[in-house]
Every structure is written in structure tokens, then in C-alpha cells.
Amino acid sequence: MASARSQEFRGEFVFGFHEEYSFAKFFNEMGDLMFVSGKILKFVLGTAVGLLSAGSLAAQNDASSVVAEIGGVKITMGELEQEESAKLLSAHYQYYQAETKALSELIDKRLLEQKAKSENLTVEQLVQRDITSQVKDPSEDQMKVYYEGLETDQPYDAVRGKILDKIREIRTQKARSAYIKALHAETTVAVLLAPPVVKVNTQNAPSLGSDKAAVTLVEFADYECPYCQKVAPDVKKLKADFGDKLTLTYKDFPLPMHARAEKAAEATRCASKQGKYWELHDEIFRSKELDVDQLKAQARALKLDATEFDKCLDSGEEAAVVETDRKEGARLGINGTPAFFINGHFLSGAVDYAALREIVEQQLAAQTHSGGNAGSK
């Protein structure tokens, strides 16, 4: 069994393919979005912009471009995207994730190139001077502590070289990441690559904010979903930070495996009839109490009319409204929660405050730049 000290030491040095895979998987789930998080809108990388506006790709992204004709009747890209969204959204998002990762790597490459050029060095010389040469080898005692945490029958001397190589590799990568982070801080980087966009029907959906807000964030979520529960405070903070510039719209998407999510969604709609939708919405996400008797207790704590609320919830009066939201989500191609549409731009999975804020700022900056709407509401 690994000692406590060796476990602590392993927190710095990841060794083996399993941990590396988990690291990659984490970034995949986050959509690789946070890795490119930068300060919005001054410095634009010409190559990246050129890549985004390449002829055939730009033409295909034009909603008015014709993609088929049937007996002289044309089908446009916009019609295809809207009517077959359920089949296309997931594929578009995966492609966006790949683009984001590639753009992130390109930005890092350009930053290193610009830094090297400013100092009359090659990139290799810069990396050797400022990164590689700064990495220190671990002591023999540190490597032996690390060895204690490995599940191996091989003697220390047999794996010593591999441990040393791995520690050097990880320390070099850490030093490189810190160096590039510092370069980001010195240069304002604009990430203009936006997630795929679709039109979301928000008619009659609960909204918090003005219908004239520059940015609308639509969230499809499930009250029993742990990721939705985790991101709920981030969404609330986002609204507080952007104020009148941002409108929140919530749509229910109870998942089949969450038996209590449906009634929780109905409960918020029942509360809406008494003018307290958002109060119960926030309380359910905060308390995570989803049994029917708990929902009723929360309604009473909010001073709702108990008789009216209970009748609404027990009768399933709002079930059809919740089902309408669920069908809308399915039509769009949503297969998990939370799913966000920021001015129609789609984000899904384990998204956090930084990722949401980046897209909101991107949309605000784009509107300032263009003088109009940045995306579909």
C-alpha cells in the first residue's frame, strides 16, 4: 500500500497511461473551452480567422446557401440545420470541440513565435532558455518516494530511469504551461470561434431579464441532474454580473433516469402561477430536495397558497408544459443536461462559470463590433 507521503507526492507527478487518459477526458468533457479562455477582443490571429473564413466552409455555413433542389424547389442550409437539428447538433458540437482544441494549440504556437521573434531567437532557443533549462530534476529521495506509490513488482533500479523521464516530462509541461499562461497575460487574445448555433423557441418560457437584453441564455436542465445542480450558482452569478445585458430562460428537460425530476419541474410551473417561479427554481437547486412532500414544504416556506399549489402539483396540471419543453429539447438534438444556448450558440456537458462568461462576453463584443445582434435568439 502506498504511504501517505507517496500519495501526496504523486499529486504532482502523474505516472502511467490511466491518469493521462483521465486528464484528456476531463478536457474533452469541458469542451476544451476553458483552455483557450482569453481576454476578449483586440488581438486576432490572422491564420485562425483565415481558417474560419475559408471559401467552401464559409459558403456551407451561410444559411441561405442552397444544398439541394427537388423538382426545382430549393433546400437551404438554414432549413437543413433547423429541421434536422436533432441529427446534426451533436456532430457540430464535436467538430467545434476539435476546432477549439486546434485553435488553442495554434494560439500557443503563435505566442511562442512572437515572443521568440521579439528577442531575435528561434522558438527552440526560447524554449530551451526559458523553459527546459529551468526544469530541475527530482532528488533521489523524491524518486524513491514516488516509487513507493507505484504498483509494480520491479525493483527501484529497474524503473528509476522511467520515473526520472516521466517527472522531467511533467515538470517541463508544467513549466511550458505556466510560461504560455504568462504570455497570454501579456497579450490580449480574442477567441472569436463560436459554438454551433440554432434557433430556440423561448415563447412562454420562464425568463429573468428584459426581452431587449443583448444576450439571452437558454438553459435546458433537470433538477435531479448533479451537473445542473452544480452549475446553478454559476448561472445565477452570471446574471448578477451582467445585469440587464443578460436574460436567463429556463426550459425543462427531465431525463428518464431521474424519477423525481418531472415533478420538480411541474412544481416550479405551479409556483409560477403564484408569481414565484424563480424563487422555487433556485430553492430546489439549492436544497436538492425533490420528493413531493419536500417540494410542498418548500412552497409553503415561500408563502405560496398551499391548497392551490398542492392541487396543481397533485393533478399533474403542468405536466403538458414540461413535456413541451422536453420535446423541444429532443427536436434540437439535446441528449443530456445541462445544455445551454447563448444567443443560440450551443454548449453542453460539464460547463462552468468561466466557459459561460467567455461566450457571453464574446457575444457582447461581437454586437459592439457589428452594431447588431451577434446571434440568434
Q: How many CB atoms lie within 10 A of CB 112?
A: 20
Q: Using the predicted structure, report yes or no on whether residue 41 has a pLDDT greater than 70.
A: no
Q: How far is Cα of residue 354 from the mean position of the Cα atoms in its chain? A: 8
DSSP letter, residue 16: S
Distance in Å from the first CA to the final CA of the chain: 56
What's the pLDDT at 371?
58
For the chain, the average pLDDT equals 82
Listed in sequence order, the DSSP H helices in the chain are 4-10, 17-29, 46-52, 55-61, 77-83, 85-118, 123-130, 140-148, 156-186, 226-242, 261-272, 277-287, 292-301, 306-315, 319-332, 353-370
Mean per-residue pLDDT, 198-217: 91
* Superfamily of domain 207-370, CATH level 4: Glutaredoxin (3.40.30.10)
What's the pLDDT at 84?
73
Identify the weakest region by mean pLDDT among 1-5, 26-30, 127-131. Answer: 26-30
What is the rounded distance in angstroms from the CA atom of residue 276 to the CA atom of residue 359? Answer: 29
What's the pLDDT at 370?
61
Q: Which is nearest to 15 in space by CA: 178, 168, 133?
A: 168
Angle at 305 between CA 304 and CA 308, to 5 degrees: 125
What's the pLDDT at 12?
38
What's the pLDDT at 261?
97
Cell numbers describing residue 203: 415563447
Output b/e per residue, 194-215; b: 16+ Cβ within 10 A: bbbbbebebeebbbbbeeebbb
Identify the weakest region by mean pLDDT among 79-93, 237-251, 268-282. Answer: 79-93
Cell numbers describing residue 253: 428537460
The string of pLDDT tens digits covering residues 111-130 is: 999 999 999 999 999 999 99
What's the pLDDT at 369?
63
The string of pLDDT tens digits covering residues 301-334 is: 999 999 999 999 999 999 999 999 999 999 888 9
Mean per-residue pLDDT, 60-67: 76
Q: Which is nearest to 28 in space by CA: 101, 111, 134, 79?
A: 101
What's the pLDDT at 158?
94
What is the rounded distance in angstroms from the CA atom of residue 366 to the CA atom of residue 162? Answer: 49
Residue 163's identity, in one-letter code, is I
Angle at 245 between CA 240 and CA 220, to 5 degrees: 70
Angle at 251 between CA 247 and CA 257, to 5 degrees: 145
Mean per-residue pLDDT, 331-357: 90
37, burial (CB in 10 Å: exposed 0-12, middle 13-18, buried 19+): middle
What is the rounded distance in angstroms from the CA atom of residue 32 to the CA atom of residue 12? Answer: 22
Instruction: Tell whether omega for the bond before 338 is within 30 degrees of 0, i.e. cis.
Output: yes
The residue written with cell numbers 448578477 in the block is 240
Residue 338's identity, in one-letter code, is P
pLDDT band, very low/low/confident/very high, at 372 (cuts 50, 70, 90): low
The string of pLDDT tens digits covering residues 235-273 is: 999 999 999 999 999 999 999 999 999 999 999 999 999
Q: Using the predicted structure, report yes or no on whether residue 345 has a pLDDT greater than 50.
A: yes
Q: Are strands 207-208 and 73-76 parallel, antiparallel or unpaired?
A: unpaired
The residue written with cell numbers 482544441 in the block is 101
What's the pLDDT at 100?
85
Mean per-residue pLDDT, 181-206: 86
What's the pLDDT at 87?
76
pTM over the 0.75 mark: no
Identify the weakest region by mean pLDDT among 13-22, 263-272, 365-374. Answer: 13-22
What is the rounded distance in angstroms from the CA atom of residue 145 to the CA atom of residue 253? Answer: 49
Would you say 343 and 373 are in contact if contact means Cβ atoms under 8 Å apart?
Answer: yes
Would you say 217 and 238 are in contact if contact means Cβ atoms under 8 Å apart?
Answer: yes
Q: Using the predicted structure, report yes or no on whether residue 25 has a pLDDT greater than 70.
A: no
The residue written with cell numbers 437558454 in the block is 218
Q: Using the predicted structure, report yes or no on whether residue 221 has a pLDDT greater than 90.
A: yes
Q: Using the predicted structure, report yes or no on whether residue 51 has a pLDDT greater than 70.
A: no
What's the pLDDT at 45?
32
Domain boundaries, the chain: 4-186, 207-370
Residue 119 dihedral angles phi and psi, to the nearest 5°: -115, 15
Mean per-residue pLDDT, 163-185: 94
Identify the weakest region by mean pLDDT among 84-88, 285-289, 311-315, 373-377. Answer: 373-377
Mean per-residue pLDDT, 128-143: 94
